[in-house]
Amino acid sequence: MSHTVAPATQDLLVALRLALGDAHVLTDGDLSSYEQDWRKRVRGKALAVVRPGNTQEVAAVVKACAKAGVSVVPQGGNTGLVVGSIPDTSGTQVLLSLQRMNAVRAIDADNLTLTVEAGCVLQNVQHAAEQAGFLFPLSLGSEGSCTIGGNLATNAGGTQVVRYGNTRELCLGLEVVTAQGEVMHTLSGLRKDNTGYDLRNLMIGSEGTLGIITAATMKLYPLPAVSLTAWAAVPSVEHAVKLLGLAHQHLGAGLTGFEMMGQFALSLVDKHYPQLRVPLWQDTPYCVLLENSDTESEAHARSRFEHLLELAFEDGCVTDAVVAESLSQARNLWHIRESITLAQAEEGLNIKHDISLPVSAIPAFVASTDALLTREIEGVRIVNFGHLGDGNLHYNVQAPEGSDNQLFLQTQEDRVNTLVYDAVKALGGSISAEHGVGSLKVDTLPDYKDPVALALMRHVKRALDPQGLLNPGRVVR
């Protein structure tokens, strides 16, 4: 069956092929890896998938699309969880994949910086830093496929935020293609540059709605001399928070990771990945994974770490603990933590929440919301885990055992979201900690965002993208 293409659309496709070459303007064949979101909840349809190889080609694509009045959806590794980087179903949007732009442009050892293109996979950025004798500390479960541009566009968090901060805190400069197809060059790597509005931080976390990030200059750190990892059983969320306070007090800046995992979350890993041998989970409501990295001697670091655990046992914060005796044991413990999301996917479709709260409010939130959901939905299963060290929980809701997951989502998702988000708002939290807003939360955001802040966001969007062509329908309408 042949499709008639409108002359204006045909002109655009010709212009894109002239700019990128026929091989990098895809309109036929299986494009599902670009058009379907990672959770396989939504499948879009692109007018074309374009794959520029450099910043000038990105600018040429955006200019051509702006001239034709066609919207552009930027995409990195397509690992996002809020349906923010795939085209809609209209077949009229251009999907701009940055995966070919994957070079490490420069490493400045004296300045402790690395300049990298947006399509570089996070794991490759980590590896490039390590090869040069440095640490790039951003670490996520999807690091083997997510890209640094996507990490910046969503201000990704991960497991080491407690020490190093979100992606925003790791970025010193950006190269960005604007909605008009112009290129903003601010890759200098300066730690001090007080010359007006902070456009870099405006672009970070904007999910491709204000500009398309093509390269970034990121901070590097010295490689730690020693890294110690412990897996501890804790009797309650309150005890986990108390343990976190002790860790801050006794490890200081050495505390690099602090993850909390509920019993049911770990039972899913045990069920679907029994080879991982999850420790301690059967006899405790929560486990904590904590990491201490230090540039000092191993003996000194281990002494402090063991002293912390002794105090935690005495205080009753910890009832049992396993300390990794080798790097491979530590990696196995982290692999268990990072497998929770995959195990939950194996269990079936679920309602995901990526929330943040003041750490002090988390025990009250968990107690009241667990009770509320259990009362409202018989047999509901709560998959609670996340980055307790920075107040970010992945408080997910799984259908009752044996029920229809798809039907559960259709009939309960809006209700569950309202119950959870209302509880988050009441305690001064946010409905998106590190995943972004995308299209999944764009219509929910006005109920939970300060109205003046939301109005200012809309003004910024209109000012920078007056045609509304960059990733429309994401973040703000």
Domain residues of the chain, as ranges?
A: 7-97, 104-222, 226-341, 348-426
Which spans in 132-254 are helix H?
A: 148-153, 161-164, 167-170, 199-203, 237-251
Which of 392, 352, 333, 440 is CA-nearest to residue 166? 392
Distance CA 55, CA 353 (A): 35
Which of 380, 398, 334, 384 is CA-nearest to residue 354? 384
- The residues, ordered by sequence, that sit 6+ positions from 316 with a Cβ below 8 Å of its Cβ are 235, 239
Strand order from edge to edge, sheet including 104-108: 104-108, 113-117, 212-219, 171-177, 183-186
Q: Cα dihedral sign for 165, 169, 171, 172?
A: negative
| pLDDT value of residue 5 | 58
Question: Which residue spans within 307-407 are E strands per DSSP?
Answer: 320-323, 350-351, 354-356, 381-387, 392-398
Distance CA 282, CA 464 (A): 53
Q: Which long-range contacts (CB under 8 A, 24 or more apart) does 19-27 make?
A: 19/52, 19/57, 19/60, 19/61, 19/64, 20/50, 20/51, 20/52, 20/53, 20/57, 20/60, 20/61, 24/50, 24/51, 24/52, 24/53, 24/100, 25/49, 25/50, 25/51, 26/50, 26/51
Q: Residue 72, Cα to own-chain centre: how many angstroms?
A: 22
Which of 98, 95, 231, 69 is CA-nearest to residue 176? 98
Q: Which tens digit of pLDDT belongs to each residue from 321-371?
A: 999 999 899 999 999 999 999 999 999 989 999 999 999 999 999 999 999
Q: Which tens digit of pLDDT belongs to each residue from 1-25?
A: 345 557 778 999 999 999 999 999 9
Is it true that domain 7-97 has CATH number 3.30.43.10?
yes
Distance CA 387, CA 377 (A): 26
> DSSP code of 223?
P
Residue 116 near residue 136, CB atoms below 8 Å:
no
| pLDDT value of residue 137 | 94
| pLDDT value of residue 1 | 38
Residue 213 near residue 153, CB atoms below 8 Å:
yes
Query: Into which CATH architecture does domain 104-222 fall?
Result: 2-Layer Sandwich (3.30)
For the chain of 477 residues, list the mean pLDDT of each consecutive stretch of 10: 64 96 95 89 94 98 97 94 91 97 97 98 97 95 92 92 94 98 95 94 97 98 93 98 96 94 97 96 96 84 92 96 93 95 92 95 98 95 96 95 92 95 97 91 94 97 97 94
| pLDDT value of residue 2 | 42
Q: Cα dihedral sign for 290, 296, 298, 304?
A: negative
Coil, strand or helix: which one is 43? strand
The DSSP element (H or E) to which 156 belongs, if any, is: none
Find residue 384's DSSP bridge partners: 395
Same fold, 226-341 and 348-426: yes
Coil, strand or helix: which one is 185? strand
Distance CA 199, CA 326 (A): 43
Instruction: Give the CATH class of 348-426.
Output: alpha beta
Q: Residue 391, Cα to own-chain centre: how many angstroms?
A: 15
Query: Into which CATH architecture does domain 226-341 fall?
Result: 2-Layer Sandwich (3.30)
Q: Which residues of 450-467 are buried (b: 16+ CB within 10 A; e: fewer)?
A: eeeeeeebeeebeebbee
Distance CA 169, CA 413 (A): 33
